[in-house]
Amino acid sequence: MQAWRDLGPEGVRIAGVCDLDEGRARTMAEEFGARAFTDPAAMLAALRPDFVDIATTPPSHRALVELCAPQVRLVICQKPIADTPNDARAMVDACDRAGAAFVIHENFRWQRPFVRMQELLLAGAIGMPRFLRLNFRHGWDVYAGQPYLATVPRLAIMDIGVHLFDLVRLFLGEARAITCETQKRNPRVEGEDAFTALTAHDGAVGVTDASFHSTLRPEPFPQTLAVLEGDRGTLELREGYRLVIHDETGRREEDVEPPVPAWGEKPWHVVQDSVLAFQRHVVAVLRGQATPQPSGADNLRTLALCLAAYRSAEIGARVSP
Ligand code: 89Y
């Protein structure tokens, strides 16, 4: 909401807020100068918005996307897109039928360090990518702000794996196969809270691991650490937002720490800044100046990779997504 407000000068206005909890809808609407609703159909009819930003949990995504698609030009839906491929596909189809653009709120690829890594890769700084390692390990109490995370049967892969696999696909292309081990480390949560995955791509390999139950000081949350090796060099994203570029000429270091938005705070600034970047991108899509990154259709493959990771862990074998 704060990022949308920041985009006011670029032509964005928050017209309505919808929440099943009327009190919350009112509080947010007042804070952001919008109208409050508890029924999304009533909101769409009253406001006829250009786009909607659906920030709910996955079980409600399909119904909301199907409701909104015929009435707006663009739909944003939070990650993970859906719990099942069937629901995700139906959402993509609903937007296609209605001629609405469909963007998944996937912000890791919009984080400053990864935007810079994409730039360097595209500029040929390290040659062809051959190996990517992504780590997202921490012991931050994510359950305090998102209590539902402690109760979902599928946790780390659906919550963080979606982000990381989106990055893996962005840097290495489609995965042909995945092998994954999951762990349940915190006895207070239902789902897996750690996983380690190996993905095979054409000419490249990815290693992705995440844990919500690691003791590390200083606490690295919510930083993703990365090593991307190419034929001619390596990009190494270290803790503290230090990007080390290794190539034939030697080594140089860039500070890729994002600024803290006026309404933001550390350690969330990397995410908050990426939300602003993502939402600015959505405005460009609405103006016809960009195509969705990532689109719902693209995100079907990330979901398939996540589900293949669960299957691999379940059966103890390599799986094709
Ligand atoms: O939901 C998750 C996300 O997307 O980033 C961090 C988080 O809030 C907790 O794991």
Q: How far is the CA of 149 from the centre of ligand 1 (A)?
A: 9
The Cα 21–Cα 33 span in angstroms is 18
Task: Render pLDDT for 134-158 as a digit per residue (tens, 0 to 9).
Answer: 999 999 999 999 999 999 999 999 9
3-state secondary structure of 136: strand
Mean pLDDT within 59-85: 98
What's the pLDDT at 29? 98
Per-residue DSSP letter, 160: I
Mutate to test the pocket of ligand 1, among 56, 105, 149, 192 (most ligand atoms within 8 A of CB): 149
- Which residue's CA lies nearest to atom 1 of ligand 1? 159
Atom of ligand 1 nearest to the CA of 271: 5
Tell me: the pLDDT tens digits for 228-249?
999 999 999 999 999 999 999 9
Please tell me the distance between residue 172's alpha carbon and the centre of ligand 1 in angstroms. 23
Q: What share of the chain is helix, strand, coil (3-state, %, to 5)?
A: 40, 25, 35
Q: In the chain, where does the domain assigned CATH 3.40.50.720 lie?
A: 2-105
Question: What is the spatial distance between Cα 26 and Cα 291, in angstroms, rounded to a whole number?
Answer: 34
Q: Note the pLDDT of residue 113.
A: 98
Binned at pLDDT 50, 70 and 90, residue 159 comes out as: very high
- Which class for 303: exposed (0-12), middle (13-18), buried (19 or more C-beta within 10 A)? buried
Confidence of residue 5 (pLDDT cuts 50, 70, 90): very high
**21 strand-pairing partners:** none
Average pLDDT over residues 88-116: 98
* Residue 59 confidence (pLDDT): 96
- Going from the Cα of 34 to the center of ligand 1, the distance in angstroms, rounded, reads 27
Show the tokens assigned to 153. 């049967």
Closest ligand 1 atom number to CA of residue 222: 6
108 — pLDDT class (breaks 50, 70, 90): very high
As for ligand 1, residues whose beta carbon falls within 6 Å of it are 142, 146, 159-160, 163, 222
Please state the atom number of ligand 1 nearest to the C-alpha of residue 145: 8
131 Rama class: left (phi>0) / alpha (psi -120 to 50) / beta = beta
The rounded Å distance from CA 163 to ligand 1 centre is: 9
Reported as a single tens digit per residue, the pLDDT across 19-60 is 999 999 999 999 999 999 999 999 999 999 999 999 999 999
Atom 8 of ligand 1: nearest residue by CA position: 142
DSSP string, 196-259: EEEEEETTEEEEEEEESS---SS--TTPPEEEEEESSEEEEEETTTEEEEEETTEEEEEE-PPP
Residue 270: what pLDDT? 98
Cα–Cα distance measured from residue 236 to residue 224, given in angstroms and rounded to the nearest whole number:
11
Residue 296: predicted pLDDT: 98
- Residue-wise pLDDT tens digits, 263-275: 999 999 999 999 9
pLDDT band at 119 (very low <50, low <70, confident <90, very high): very high
Q: Ligand 1 centroid to 222 CA: how many Å? A: 8
pLDDT given at position 36: 98
Q: What is the pLDDT of residue 150?
A: 98
Report the C-alpha gap between 253 and 242 in whole angstroms: 7
On the question of a cis peptide bond just before residue 218, with omega within 30 degrees of 0, the verdict is: yes
C-beta separation of 246 from 231 below 8 A? no
pLDDT at position 311 = 98
Q: Which of 137, 189, 271 to mutate to test the pocket of ligand 1 (most atoms within 8 A of CB)?
A: 271
**62, 91 Cβ separation under 8 angstroms:** yes
Residues with Cβ < 8 Å from 165, sequence gap 6 or more?
175, 197, 199, 208, 302, 305, 306, 309
Q: Return the pLDDT at 258.
A: 98
* Whether pTM exceeds 0.90: yes
Confidence of residue 109 (pLDDT cuts 50, 70, 90): very high
Residue type, 138: H
Question: Which of 109, 137, 142 to probe ligand 1 with, by most ligand atoms within 8 A of CB?
Answer: 142
- pLDDT at res. 51: 98
124 CA to centre of ligand 1 in angstroms: 31
Ligand 1 mean position to 160 CA, how many Å? 6
How far is it, in rounded angstroms, from Cα 36 to Cα 319? 46
Vertex 240 angle, CA 235 and 245, to 5°: 20
ipTM over 0.95: yes
List the CATH code of the domain at 2-105. 3.40.50.720
CB of 256 closer than 8 Å to CB of 112: yes
Domain 108-265+296-315, CATH homologous superfamily name and number: Dihydrodipicolinate Reductase; domain 2 (3.30.360.10)
- Which residue puts its alpha carbon closest to atom 5 of ligand 1? 160
Distance CA 11, CA 3 (A): 13
136, 160 contact by CB (below 8 A) = yes
Tokens of 74: 């663009």
Q: What is the DSSP string of 268-282?
A: THHHHHHHHHHHHHH
CA gap 93, 181 in Å, rounded: 33
Protein residue with least CA distance to atom 2, ligand 1: 159
- Where does CATH 3.30.360.10 sit in the chain? 108-265+296-315
pLDDT at res. 39: 98
C-alpha 159 to ligand 1 mean position (Å):
6
- What is the mean pLDDT of the segment spanning 272-294? 98
Alpha carbon of 75 to ligand 1 centroid (Å): 21
